[in-house]
């Protein structure tokens, strides 16, 4: 089974294209063998591997698509024009052999089935390579209509297989004489060609000079009438971020080595670092004295505090603080978007008054996209309206969406705009990564229509490695809390339960992945002019922690 999830589509039972009395999708292995032998492995690799769920009386069938690739998949339609042209040329070159297979009577049913696609975002791109999804399907229950396939093919994959045709050259044939041939009159001498006066070239030269001057003016910075905007996120920006991360990691290693060299273990078993605190940033009590039930810790402690021991103020009950895990559970939501290309899952979080923040790419599935929000603190899945969206990131430098749901009492996160650097601050990433949802029984029940099935929230911890500016208006936090597809739009919180960024993308490296969250200044700028009014604070985090009680070891007799 291929390892990289590409997309998922909901279909009707009659949408499956059949060949030899079986759905073409069930002959994926046979298709791969045929294409590898007759067209080569690169052509075979174009067709994504399907995982079919037949559904039941309540839920429609779905098909999930996978491929051997690295990196998050995007529809071809969302790429830049230059990248779309490159992918289209690749498909044109590699799909051409399938025409020969489609004309072979022994293989035509399988070949035509593979070339029949649903017709919406049927090409996904991951790791710079195209993959065809939704093949073996026809919309509107026309899977059994062989007569409709050619016309449908021309409107879908056929656009990649059209070859330019040379202009027709009219053939000249001798006319058959119907009357006796007569001798044509002698041709007249051509009139002598008039010579142009040198002055006649003056207007043309003047026009050329004017055109050259206008072109020179247009090419000057700041005077272009229709400037082409380059991508906001550049390779230079991400390279700077990588260098900053490396510097941060070296600094982290140095601090750990210093702490290890200067640490002292007291007689009662409490480890004291050179700065006089425990590895969790707690001030130790006097030797022989127990830790208090609640103590102030450092936000940049050498070791991150366990989320279930961190206490967060509860606005509804100030004298009853809640643990950080419950705080995250009650405010982080699963965001499902359903569009023509299928269903996409991402994360989001409440900022109060029924307002949900997420990434633009989570809810952008084209026209007629429906968005639903599911959360532990919600009574049922709720439809969401998109109040504002800005993206995609590579073109605009933004990746934000503000949603509205009918749940004004859903508690919201406080947003933290730090007055100083967040580097080395301990953080928690909360969300619903896709690789976890695939194995979650509650998510499977939710997809079958069980409105009460809420998937478990996934939390990962780490530190802020560096703060980076990828573009003039794009600020990010690079952190070490692991992320994957599905975490997009989820909150990155500090040890006081305040949101410091929105987890948005991952860059995959040869040895490890880099997690990025869009920083709070960009979030607040996006929210300007919207009805959202989240709580905002600049106070430095002073985590309150339940100290871990050491287990006493009975003395040997």
- The owner of tokens 């009577």 is 105
pLDDT of residue 499: 96
CA contacts within 13 A on the Cβ side of 317: 6
CA–CA separation, 279 and 302 (whole Å):
5
274-282: average pLDDT: 68
CA proximity to 500, closest of 487, 481, 482, 517: 517
> Looking at the predicted structure, is the pLDDT value of residue 388 above 80?
yes
- Is the sign of the CA dihedral 97, 100, 105, 108 positive or negative? positive
Q: Contact 8/64 with Cβ under 8 angstroms?
A: yes
Instruction: Give dist(CA 357, CA 532) in Å, integer.
Output: 10
Q: Which of the residue ranges 91-100, 428-437, 461-470, 521-530 would you say has the lowest mean pLDDT? A: 91-100
Cα separation, 276 vs 424, in Å, equals: 18
Q: Is the pLDDT of residue 419 over 90?
A: no
More confident residue, 214 or 504: 504
pLDDT score, position 10: 83
Backbone angles phi, psi at 18, to 5 degrees: -105, 145
Q: Is the pLDDT of residue 534 over 50?
A: yes
**What are 209-259's pLDDT values in tens digits?**
777 776 665 555 443 333 333 445 455 555 565 566 566 556 656 666 666
Spans of all domains in the chain: 4-160, 325-537
pLDDT of residue 283: 65
**């040869």: which residue's tokens?**
510
pLDDT band at 147 (very low <50, low <70, confident <90, very high): low
Residue burial 103-127, b: 16+ Cβ < 10 Å; e: rest: eeeebebbbbbbbbbbbbbbbbbbe
Phi, psi (degrees; rounded to nearest 5) at 284: -75, 145
Q: Using only C-alpha atoms, what is the Rg of the chain?
A: 32
DSSP string, 541-555: P--EE-PPPPPP-PP
Place of tokens 């026009």: 207
What average pLDDT score do residues 528-553 get? Answer: 77
Neighbours of 442 (CB within 10 A): 15
pLDDT at 167: 34
Residue pair 112/138 in contact (Cβ under 8 Å)? The answer is no
DSSP 275-338: TSS-TTSPPPPSTTPPPPSSEE--TT-SSPPPGGGEEE--TT-TTS-EEHHHHHHTTEEEEEEE
Lowest mean pLDDT among 2-11, 284-293, 414-423, 501-510: 284-293
The tokens describing 267, both together, are 């007689």
Question: So what's the pLDDT on residue 253?
Answer: 64
Evaluated on CA atoms 464, 469, 475, 476, the torsion sign reads: negative
What is the rounded CA–CA span in Å between residue 487 and residue 311?
Answer: 24
Stretch 112-130: mean pLDDT: 84
Please give the pLDDT value at position 61. 80
Segment 457-469 mean pLDDT: 90
Say how far apart CA 513 and CA 72 lie, in whole Å: 12
Considering 64-78, 97-111, 257-271, 491-505, the range whose residues carry the highest mean pLDDT is 491-505
Least confident of 35-49, 204-218, 314-328: 204-218
* pLDDT value, residue 428: 92
Top-confidence range, 31-45, 194-208, 416-430? 416-430
Rounded to the nearest angstrom, the gap between the alpha carbon of residue 60 and the centroid of all alpha carbons in its chain is: 25
Q: Which two tokens stand for residue 392?
A: 């995609």
User: pLDDT at residue 332 above 90?
Assistant: yes
Residue with tokens 């051997």: 68
| Residue 498 clears pLDDT 70, i.e. is over it | yes
DSSP codes joined into one string, 32-72: HHHHHHHT-HHHHTTBPEEEEE---SSS--EEEEEES--S-
SS3 380: coil
Who has greater pLDDT, 78 or 165? 78
Question: Measured between alpha carbons, how far is residue 534 from residues 282, 353, 417, 473 in Å?
Answer: 31, 9, 12, 22
**Angle, in degrees to the nearest 10, between helices 28-38 and 108-115:** 100
Q: Is the whole-model pTM more than 0.85? A: no
Predicted pLDDT of residue 229 = 38
User: Is it the case that residue 555 has pLDDT exceeding 60?
Assistant: no
User: Is the confidence at residue 363, as pLDDT, over 70?
Assistant: yes
Specify the pLDDT at position 453.
87
Highest mean pLDDT among 2-11, 193-202, 520-529 belongs to: 520-529
- 288 or 404, which is more confident: 404
CB atoms within 10 A of CB 299: 22
Helix (H, G, I), strand (E, B) or coil at 117: strand
- By CB atoms closer than 10 A (0-12, 13-18, 19+), residue 177 is exposed
pLDDT at residue number 165: 37
Per-residue pLDDT band for 341 (boundaries 50, 70, 90) equals confident
Mean pLDDT score of the chain: 77
Residue predicted with more confidence, 553 or 314: 314
Phi-psi bin for 134: left (phi > 0), alpha (psi -120 to 50), beta? left
The 295-296 sheet, strands edge to edge: 295-296, 544-545, 310-312, 322-323
Please say if the pLDDT value at position 292 is more than 70.
no
Say which CATH class 325-537 falls into.
Answer: mainly beta
* pLDDT for 308 beyond 50: yes
Q: Running DSSP on this structure, what letter comes out for residue 197?
A: P
Could you give the percent of the chain with pLDDT greater than 90? 22
Round to whole Å and give the CA distance between 58 and 56: 5
Q: What is the DSSP letter of 219?
A: T
Residue range 66-79: mean pLDDT, rounded: 83
Q: Determine contact, residues 495/299, Cβ cutoff 8 Å.
A: yes
Give residue 351's pLDDT.
95
Tokens of 381: 């899945």
**Per-residue pLDDT at 176 exceeds 50:** no
Report whether 496 contacts 324 (CB < 8 A).
no
Query: Does pLDDT of 450 surpass 80?
Result: yes
> Is the per-residue pLDDT at 294 higher than 80?
no
* Angle ∠(226,229,235) on CA atoms, nearest 5: 160
Distance separating alpha carbons of residues 194 and 346, to the nearest angstrom: 76
pLDDT of residue 211: 75
Report residue 241 as tokens: 């971020």
Question: In this model, does residue 45 exceed pLDDT 60?
Answer: yes
SS3 536: strand
């Amino acid at each position: 089974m291929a390892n990289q999830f590409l997309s998922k589509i909901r279909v009707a039972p009659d949408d499956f294209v059949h060949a030899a009395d079986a759905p073409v999708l069930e002959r994926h292995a046979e298709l791969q063998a045929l294409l590898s032998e007759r067209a080569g492995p690169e052509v075979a690799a174009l067709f994504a591997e399907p995982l079919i769920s037949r559904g039941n009386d309540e839920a429609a069938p779905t098909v999930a698509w996978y491929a051997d690739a690295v990196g998050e998949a995007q529809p071809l339609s969302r790429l830049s024009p230059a990248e779309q042209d490159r992918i289209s040329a690749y498909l044109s070159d590699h799909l051409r052999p399938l025409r020969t297979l489609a004309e072979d009577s022994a293989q035509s049913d399988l070949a035509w089935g593979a070339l029949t696609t649903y017709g919406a975002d049927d090409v996904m791109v991951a790791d710079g390579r195209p993959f065809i999804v939704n093949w073996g399907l026809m919309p509107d229950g026309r899977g059994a209509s062989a007569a409709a396939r050619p016309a449908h093919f021309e409107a879908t994959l056929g656009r990649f297989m059209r070859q330019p045709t040379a202009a027709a050259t009219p053939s000249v044939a001798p006319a058959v004489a119907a009357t006796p041939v007569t001798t044509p009159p002698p041709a007249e001498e051509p009139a002598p060609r008039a010579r142009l006066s040198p002055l006649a070239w003056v207007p043309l030269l003047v026009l050329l000079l004017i055109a050259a001057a206008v072109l020179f003016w247009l090419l000057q910075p700041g005077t272009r009438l229709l400037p082409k905007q380059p991508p906001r996120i550049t390779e230079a920006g991400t390279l700077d971020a990588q260098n900053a991360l490396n510097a941060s990691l070296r600094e982290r290693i140095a601090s750990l080595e210093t702490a290890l060299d200067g640490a002292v273990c007291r007689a009662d078993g409490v480890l004291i670092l050179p700065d006089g605190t425990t590895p969790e940033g707690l001030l130790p009590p006097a030797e022989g004295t127990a830790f208090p039930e609640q103590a102030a810790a450092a936000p940049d402690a050498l070791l991150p505090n366990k989320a279930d021991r961190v206490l967060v103020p509860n606005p509804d009950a100030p004298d009853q603080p809640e643990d950080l895990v419950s705080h995250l559970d009650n405010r982080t939501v699963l965001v499902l978007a359903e569009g023509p290309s299928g269903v996409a899952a991402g994360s989001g979080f409440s900022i109060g008054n029924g307002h949900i923040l997420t990434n633009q790419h989570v809810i952008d599935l084209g026209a007629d996209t429906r968005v639903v929000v599911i959360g532990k603190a919600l009574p049922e899945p709720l439809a969401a309206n998109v109040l504002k969206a800005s993206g995609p990131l590579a073109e605009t430098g933004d990746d934000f969406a503000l949603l509205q749901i009918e749940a004004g009492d859903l508690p919201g996160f406080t947003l933290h705009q730090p007055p100083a650097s967040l580097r080395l601050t301990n953080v928690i990433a909360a969300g619903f990564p896709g690789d976890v949802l695939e194995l979650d029984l509650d998510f499977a029940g939710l997809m079958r229509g069980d409105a009460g099935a809420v998937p478990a929230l996934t939390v990962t911890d780490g530190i802020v490695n560096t703060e980076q500016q990828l573009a003039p208006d794009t600020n990010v936090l690079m952190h070490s809390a692991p992320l994957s597809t599905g975490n997009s739009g989820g909150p990155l919180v500090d040890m006081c339960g305040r949101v410091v960024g929105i987890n948005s993308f991952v860059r995959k490296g040869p040895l490890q992945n880099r997690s990025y969250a869009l920083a709070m200044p960009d979030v607040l700028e996006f929210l300007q002019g919207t009805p959202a009014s989240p709580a905002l604070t600049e106070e430095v985090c002073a985590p309150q922690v339940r100290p871990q009680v050491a287990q006493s070891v009975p003395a040997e007799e």
